[in-house]
Structure 1
Amino acid sequence: MRVKANGIEINYEVEGQGPWLVFSHSLACHLGMWYEQAVALRDRYRILRYDTRGHGKTSAPAGPYTLELLADDLLGLLDALGIDRMHFVGISLGGMIGQVFALRHPERLASLTLCDTTSYYPPEAWPMWEERIRVVREKGMEAMVEPTLARWFTDAFRARRHDMMKRIGAMIRATPVEGYIGCCHAIPKIDTRARLKEIRCPTLVIVGEEDAGTPVAMARAIHEAIPGSRLAVISQASHLCNLEQTEAFNRILGDFVDAAA
């Protein structure tokens, strides 16, 4: 389904019954990356999954984008669907959107789950993002498929789950170039460190133990900055821990949201 919000068409899916539980995906994916979580939780929550600006079937206008813009997209979607309060789950870029949204609209959150994400990138990280932008401009998204899969999953999982590599590889490949580049401008500018202490809703921070892109130290920094938050480190998992260790992820997330609800 699609709805117009914040000047773009946003694609989304709703299923289940109960309190609202909203999922925000990573860079170069779409709402399909949360399928396993939707199946596990739709018996007791009303699940909203949506495609971020520049991804999936949502509009992909030329950027650059900002995290504030992406948070405003989420607000527009919630308003369009009449959702006053929600439990929010975001991974990687989705976790950054969640942090910014929580600081701008705290009254809309019943709980916050931040997965494999960061509150800050140092200035020396910017050249890495500039290089990704250059590669995609010159070679398209195909050039990002294999290096991205290598960052997102452990070697053992990639060797064992060719089906998952095909599924996520297809999401990366299909991401609009302008959407990917737009978000690559937003991501390295994140710096919520000074304000995370303002977050008061129940908060869970999840990270894959072997995540090299947003490692455990980054997750721990978020956890230590948000009063009363919980930290869960999932073993034998890298960046997309919801897919690499689905059973453990679903148990941890479900227990947390159930308690918050």
Structure 2
Amino acid sequence: MSTERSPLLLLPGLLCDQVAWAPTAALLSEFDCRVPAWGSLDTIEAMADHVLATTPERRFALAGHSMGGRVALEVLRRAPHRVSHLALLDTGYQALPDGEAADKERGGRAALLARSRAHGMRAMGQVWATGMVHPDRIGTPCFDAILDMIERSNPDQFAAQIHALLGRPDATALLSDVRCPTLVLCGRQDTWSPLSRHEVMAARISGAVLSVIEDSGHMSPMERPEAVAAAMRAWLARPAVDVPAPEVSS
């Protein structure tokens, strides 16, 4: 892929903004790095449509972190001919499970939302982000930057994004159809989106490269930007594959 300011879309996760990608993007300055904002969008599908509608170039490289990885897969489902490269970081691909697991996830997210409304976003973030990062990051400037980022959002945006995640589409069948160069990346200590899930994703995508970031939790682009940028640069150097645009029926 050409490195002459090629578009590189960096999709953020739940309650994340451009700061989630900033340390890694700064190390990839040869690319035209862009981080969309989700605003009040409340479905993964609407987020994917937003990405496509606000990117004028025909083709672009696409990296999604956490919830952004799910959005990236939905972009690929909608417009595979526009995605030259795909990177999935600390994320997942399955829909909300049935039964007790679904009840547990709904309850956990509802409790965090209730805390954000009662005590504020930063107080909620103190609880939530503690389990998101490597234990060594707690209390560091990196951790403070995560809390600052969470505080820039509000409970209504949090509720919209929770709605999106609880209604997330299943991308299991899509993985075997991916044809573009793909990077699957995960922090070794990511307990939110564990390495085992990424091993399955990488095995299901033909030619995917699995990169494990040592000494990192879920927020790998902020926690270990040098390692993440190195893995992404190698991924972006792989030649793109032409995927024909779908035929439009008359």
Q: TM-score range by the shorter chain?
A: 0.7 to 0.9
- SS of the aligned residue for 1:231 comes to strand
How do residues 146-185 of structure 1 correspond to structure 2 at under 5 angstroms? 146-159=126-139, 162-185=140-163
Determine if contact 1:90/1:115 at 8 Å carries over to the other structure: yes
CA distance in 2, matches of 1:128, 1:192: 23
Of residues 90, 93, 101, the one that matches 2:75 is: 101
Is the contact between residue 129 and residue 188 of structure 1 (CA under 8 Å) also seen in structure 2? no
Q: Is the 8 A contact 1:96 1:119 kept in 2?
A: yes
How far is the alpha carbon of 1:217 from its aligned partner? 1.4
Q: Which residue of 2 aligns with 1:26?
A: 13
Residue 184 (structure 1) shift: 0.5
Q: Which residue of 2 aligns with 1:224?
A: 203
Q: Give the Å deviation of 1:118.
A: 0.5
**1:201 correspondence with 2:180:** yes
> CA shift at 1:17, angstroms?
4.6
Are the aligned partners of 1:21 and 1:46 in contact in 2 as well (CA < 8 Å)? yes
Cross-structure match for 1:141: 121
1:41 aligns to what SS in structure 2?
coil
1:258 shift after superposition: 1.7
How far apart in 1 are the matches of 2:167 and 2:192? 15
Query: Any idea what the Cα deviations from partners look like across 1:88-136, whole Å, max 9, x if unmatched?
Result: 1110011110011111110110000000001124232332223323333
Paired residue for 2:110?
Answer: 130
Aligned to 1:4: none
Over the matched positions of the two proteins, sequence identity in percent amounts to 25
Instruction: Name 1:254's counterpart in structure 2.
Output: 233
Letter in 2 for 1:39: A
Distance across 2 between alignment mates of 1:249 and 1:143: 29
SS in 1 for 2:92: coil
Equivalent position to 1:69, from 8, 26, 46: 46
- Mind listing any 5+ residue stretches in structure 1 that lack a counterpart? 1-15, 55-59
Q: What is the alpha-carbon distance in structure 2 between the residues aligned to residue 27 and residue 216 of structure 1?
A: 19
**Deviation of residue 26 (structure 1)?**
1.4
Q: Over residues 13-39 of structure 1, what are the superposed CA-to-partner deviations in whole Å (9 max), with x where a residue is unaligned?
A: xxx952111111111120122112222
CA contact (8 A) 2:64 2:72 kept: yes
Cα displacement (A) at 1:260: 3.6
Q: CA RMSD in A?
A: 1.8
- CA positional deviation for 1:45: 1.5
User: Deviation at 1:50?
Assistant: 2.2
The one-letter code of the counterpart of 1:147 is V
Structure 2 Cα separation of the partners of residues 221 and 130 of structure 1: 29
Structure scoring higher RCO (CA < 8 A, sep ≥ 6) equals: 2
Structure 1 residues 48 and 260, CA gap change in structure 2 (3 angstroms): farther
The alignment partner of 1:83 has SS state of coil
Q: In proportion to residue count, which structure has more helix?
A: 1
**8 Å contact kept, 2:4–2:31:** yes
More strand per residue = 1
Distance 2:67 2:51 in 1: 13
Q: Could you tell me whether the CA contact under 8 Å between 2:27 and 2:226 is conserved in 1?
A: no
AA paired with 2:207? Answer: G
> TM (normalized to structure 1)?
0.83
Structure 1 residue 140: deviation in Å?
3.2
Tell me if 1:47 matches 2:33. yes
1:38 lines up with 2:25 in the alignment? yes
Q: Name 1:12's counterpart in structure 2.
A: none
- Structure 2: distance between partners of 1:37 and 1:236: 16
